[in-house]
Amino acid sequence: MLELLPPRPIPADRSGERAGALGLPAGRRSRANGLHVAFPRGSDALLVVAMVALGITLLLLLPRTFGVDSWLALVAGREVWSGGLPHQETLTAMSHGAPWVDQQWLSQLASYAIYRIGGLGLLGVTSVTMMTVAVGAAVLAARRRGARAWGVMAMFGLCLTQILPAGEVRTQAFAMPLIVATTLLLSADSRRHTRRVYWCLPILVVWANLHGTALIGAAMVCLRGLLLASDRWREAPARDSAWRRWRGPVALTLGAPLCLLITPYGLSIVSYYQATMMNSGIRHLVTEWQPITSDLAIAVPFFILAGLVVWSFGRRPTTTTVWEKVVLLVLAASSIMVIRNGLLFGLAALAIVPASLDAALPRRPPRTVPVRNRLNTALCVSTFAALAIVIMSTLLRPGAAFEHYSQRPRVLDVVRAATLRDPTLKVFADVRFADWLLWRDPQLRGRIANDARFELLTGSQMIRLVRVLSAVGPDWKQGANGYRLLVLDRAASPDSVRGFLAEPGHRVLYDDGERIVILRSARGR
């Protein structure tokens, strides 16, 4: 990746030039020391501080970012660790026996392995590191392309509004550095075609076993292949052989989708993408699969960012390539349709747009302020020290600290006691609790109705599930037939809770105002 390579080091015997390159005045160049070399100068130091501050903030908020997908990753990872790749569903009752294509098996296995090494703390630190590295690589790429630090900082804040909603500890974190790496390789190739772009293909192979966003990555590579084919058609000399002219476009255009098939599931992986990308029922149950207008806190900064992108392209159209313009517009359109795609748009915009925006604004001559440089160096040292302290405190935290904000141990105790008393008891749990219960009590395997893997449900099952959780229709309880123990979220399903509480013979085993556990009577459905 050409744009991420560090500048060529200056020989040690040229100390004056080295100090000058670091922004030190002539009279103080001989005093350049290790700290001066290690830390950037001026506004770049503030960018480093911002990146470290992002990592610190994410670590401090880490207990709040363990959610549904976190527990699903650990449950599925434990399955792969103990029994190999799954092919048939055995964890839940509603989809029992259905084919299970576990597209994210590699990131789930990595999540569980990390947990076994260092617990939930290490898993959280790893997730934060992945996100911070991805954002830092995008910032570095923008600076390498000539964007000024203050412009990058402005875009940094705006793009974070699209990136941070994906901050949950989940399998997607493992794909974030690959998203940025693919974007930078393709962006550099759109300026000058080199063999480095073919690194996108092995990256896609790994990505295809980590997270479903590999489908968008493959589309980005295909787009580059098509544009390269167009360039070759118009500009390639007639003396070039047909193979030499078309091997690059063909390798990218056809190689990208083929890379998605290089998984242990082979062609069966296509069914996974169909079940997720074309499943309208998921949009009714999962917020991040809904249009971006469903969440104004994300939608407002998104449209500001999208408008700024379009304005910068129009202001200085030659600063960005055709591929960069098209891919950002496509990612913006996909983000409007599905909130979760905002992550890819935010990372791509952070790497590409600052240089385009920078070219549209007037430049001022750089200023060197030695005192400020020393303060920036001190600030960098302080933030890195704070980061080390926060990392250590996170790693030393007990596992229960990461469950406090989303779960309650008392819920697990009540469910475990009830299912032990009655081995035939089946559990209907809100998706917020299902995978966590499976993670904490493996004995619930096959006794919980469903979990967050909605792609395993049939269309009719999805409809029945939606009706139960929203209490819609005269026969809305039909989807809960056979499940006597209910674990529900009062805020998410208030009408359902009221309906089940109206049943005769029920018992409330636990109720803290947010979570409620109801035992229906033996005569209940």
Same domain assignment for residues 153 and 296: yes
Residue 515: closest CA among 480, 491, 495:
491
Last residue of a domain, one of 327, 344, 359: 359
Residues in the chain: 525
Token look-up 């904490």 returns: 440
Long-range contacts, 356-362 (Cβ 8 Å, 24+) = 356/312, 356/313, 356/315, 356/316, 356/319, 356/320, 357/147, 357/151, 357/155, 357/308, 357/312, 358/146, 358/147, 358/148, 358/151, 359/315, 359/316, 359/319, 360/311, 360/312, 360/315, 360/316, 360/319, 361/151
Structural domain includes residue 383? no
Structural domain includes residue 273? yes
Pairing, β 515-519 against β 427-429: unpaired
Same domain assignment for residues 206 and 333: yes
Same domain assignment for residues 415 and 355: no
Last residue of a domain, one of 359, 387, 417: 359
Please give the full DSSP string across 52-70, using - where no structure is assigned.
HHHHHHHHHTGGGG--HHH
Same domain assignment for residues 501 and 423: yes
Token look-up 């990505």 returns: 207
Structural domain includes residue 89? no
Same domain assignment for residues 324 and 439: no
Same domain assignment for residues 47 and 112: yes
Same domain assignment for residues 192 and 337: yes
**Rounded to the nearest 5°, which phi and psi values hold at 524?**
-70, 165
Last residue of a domain, one of 327, 359, 391: 359
Structural domain includes residue 150? yes
Structural domain includes residue 484? yes
Residue 224: closest CA among 199, 187, 259, 181:
187
The CA distance from 6 to 27, in Å, is 27
Structural domain includes residue 443? yes
Same domain assignment for residues 433 and 307: no
Token look-up 């009540």 returns: 414
Same domain assignment for residues 353 and 428: no
Its domain, for residue 452, covers 409-519
Same domain assignment for residues 324 and 428: no
Please tell me the total count of domains within the chain.
2
Structural domain includes residue 525? no
Same domain assignment for residues 420 and 343: no
Give the pLDDT of residue 22: 34
CB 51 within 8 Å of CB 381:
no
Residue 333: closest CA among 309, 357, 358:
309
Structural domain includes residue 231? yes
Order of strands, sheet of 507-511, starting from the edge strand that comes earlier in the sequence? 427-429, 485-489, 515-519, 507-511
What residues of the chain score a pLDDT lower than 70? 1-42, 235-244, 359-373, 523-525
Same domain assignment for residues 345 and 433: no
